[in-house]
């Protein structure tokens, strides 16, 4: 068995389309997560195009420094599918037909497909003599498990994600666990933050960043910070006990900023809280053009709380649909606290909801002025018992239009989350 102090595992992604950026390499990400669950050291990922000589060279290099190589891509029937051939040539061995594989391929395809691609499909039946075949329940290209030299094993998978995942779950996971993994695995718990920057979080948890087990690592997305707490343990119960004190410390330190864990999203958390209260929500959007509504409706179950929205981009529609007065538009402008507040109050009344969020701003890159620069956004939240919260944000002018819109939506959702948190039922 390979210990976690050995030379580890590498992932090799094969395909010119990956190098050209035509396809995002989601396979490597998925495999990385699987390896972490198995507690295996994963030190390096490589990508190489559909060129036999270059594939051979990189495989030979990897064989000198790693115990396990996992490849994806290049197992299909087309001329640029070269993986199995290149691996065999890397170790100067021949390929031999497995006749039963051809019978399986014929069972999976219609006669017309077989007639069109008989020769090219047939090459998927050839493997090194002592290779173990990985069945492909979702496609025609099998993979293999092969130890060409002592202490170095190769597992091959096609590049099609659903085929690769099915093969991993059916065959590869158990093989890797039994042969390469010790009794320890990695378990992670991710805390999600909103309303605070990554640097501010990192400054306050400097001591935690130096922990060995569990480890704490910050990650930042647009408008969101994540802290991943990872424990190395023999089972999930043990891992949870290792993670628990760190998690509790973070929740005490950042109680206002942590909105959820793992797969939680801001819209999802908000929907859950409003549903628990049996309250409804509507929106009046200007600068976000429906993005706020889209963020809510992307979550299953949003119909329990979301009534609808009015996207009033022009002043004419603000007057027509939201009853915003001409005087206010002229005096304060569409991007103003006064107009935004009126939008929230009026849409709440018109669409008959418990809560309403209105947003108006200048997303750029044009339309800004000295008084009202690009990045200026007003948000108003109207709730039960004449509750009104007005928020003014000025996002950095280096932000592009899309980023300003996304960040604005984030502030809308997080602001209402905090209001509901302070008025818990």
Going from the C-alpha of 130 to that of each of 53, 146, 177, 383, the distances in angstroms are 23, 7, 21, 70
Position 40 scores a pLDDT of 85
Q: How far is CA 229 from the centre of its chain?
A: 17
Write out the H or E segment, with its range, that includes residue 311: strand 306-311
pLDDT of 127 reads 97
- Domain 185-261 in CATH 3.10.20.740? The answer is no
Q: What percent of the chain has pLDDT over 90?
A: 80
- Helix or strand holding residue 152 (H, E): strand 152-157
Helix (H) or strand (E) holding 258: strand 258-261
Checking if the pLDDT of 116 tops 80, the result is: no
pLDDT tens profile 192-208: 999 999 999 989 998 99
Q: How confident is the model at residue 45 (pLDDT cuts 50, 70, 90)?
A: very high
Tokens representing 325 are 């007065």
Average pLDDT value for the chain: 93
pLDDT at position 109: 78
Q: How confident is the model at residue 1 (pLDDT cuts 50, 70, 90)?
A: very low
Q: Where are the domains of the chain?
A: 9-179, 185-261, 266-422
The fourth-level CATH superfamily of domain 266-422 is: CinA-like (3.90.950.20)
Query: Do residues 8 and 41 make contact, with C-beta atoms less than 8 angstroms apart?
Result: yes
| pTM check: above 0.85 | no
Mean pLDDT value of segment 95-120:
78
Q: Is 202 exposed, middle or buried (0-12, 13-18, 19+ CB in 10 A)?
A: middle
Torsion of CA 90, 95, 98, 103, to 10 degrees: 90
pLDDT of residue 106: 86
pLDDT at 38: 85
Note the pLDDT of residue 4.
37
Q: Can you name the CATH fold of 9-179?
A: Molybdenum Cofactor Biosythetic Enzyme; Chain A (3.40.980)
């Amino acid at each position: 068995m390979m210990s976690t102090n050995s030379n580890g595992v590498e992932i090799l992604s094969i395909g010119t389309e990956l190098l050209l950026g035509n396809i995002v390499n989601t396979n490597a990400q998925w495999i990385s997560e699987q390896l972490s669950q198995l507690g295996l050291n994963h030190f390096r990922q490589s990508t190489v195009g559909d060129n036999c000589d270059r594939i051979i060279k990189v495989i030979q290099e990897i064989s000198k420094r790693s115990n396990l190589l996992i490849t994806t891509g290049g197992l299909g029937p087309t001329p640029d599918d070269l993986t199995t051939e290149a691996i065999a040539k890397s170790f100067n061995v021949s390929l031999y037909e497995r006749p039963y594989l051809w019978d399986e391929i014929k069972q999976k395809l219609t006669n017309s497909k077989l007639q069109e691609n008989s020769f090219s499909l047939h090459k998927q039946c050839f493997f090194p003599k002592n290779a173990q075949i990985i069945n492909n329940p979702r496609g025609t290209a099998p993979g293999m498990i092969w130890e060409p030299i002592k202490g170095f094993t190769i597992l091959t998978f096609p590049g099609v994600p659903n085929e690769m995942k099915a093969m991993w779950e059916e065959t590869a996971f158990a093989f890797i666990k039994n042969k390469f993994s010790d009794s320890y695995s990695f378990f992670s718990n991710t805390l999600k933050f909103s309303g605070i920057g990554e640097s501010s979080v990192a400054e306050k948890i400097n001591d935690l960043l130096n922990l060995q087990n569990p480890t704490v690592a910050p990650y930042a997305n647009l408008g969101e910070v994540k802290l991943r707490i990872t424990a190395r343990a023999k089972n999930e119960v043990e891992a949870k006990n290792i993670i628990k004190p760190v998690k509790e410390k973070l929740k005490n330190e950042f109680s206002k900023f942590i909105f959820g864990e793992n797969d939680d999203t801001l819209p999802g958390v908000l929907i859950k809280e409003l549903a628990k209260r049996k309250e409804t929500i509507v929106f009046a959007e200007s600068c976000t053009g429906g993005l706020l509504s889209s963020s809510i409706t992307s979550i299953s179950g949003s119909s329990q709380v979301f009534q609808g929205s009015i996207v009033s981009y022009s002043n004419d529609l603000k007057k027509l649909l939201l009853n915003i007065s001409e005087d206010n538009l002229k005096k304060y402008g569409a991007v103003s606290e006064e107009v935004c507040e009126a939008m929230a109050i009026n849409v709440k009344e018109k669409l008959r909801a418990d809560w309403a969020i209105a947003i108006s701003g200048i997303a750029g890159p044009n339309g800004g002025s000295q008084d009202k620069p690009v990045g200026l956004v007003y948000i108003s939240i109207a709730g039960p018992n004449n509750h009104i919260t007005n928020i003014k944000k000025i996002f950095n002018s280096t932000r592009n239009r899309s980023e300003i819109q996304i960040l604005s939506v984030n502030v809308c959702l997080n602001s209402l989350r905090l209001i509901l948190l302070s008025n818990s039922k």
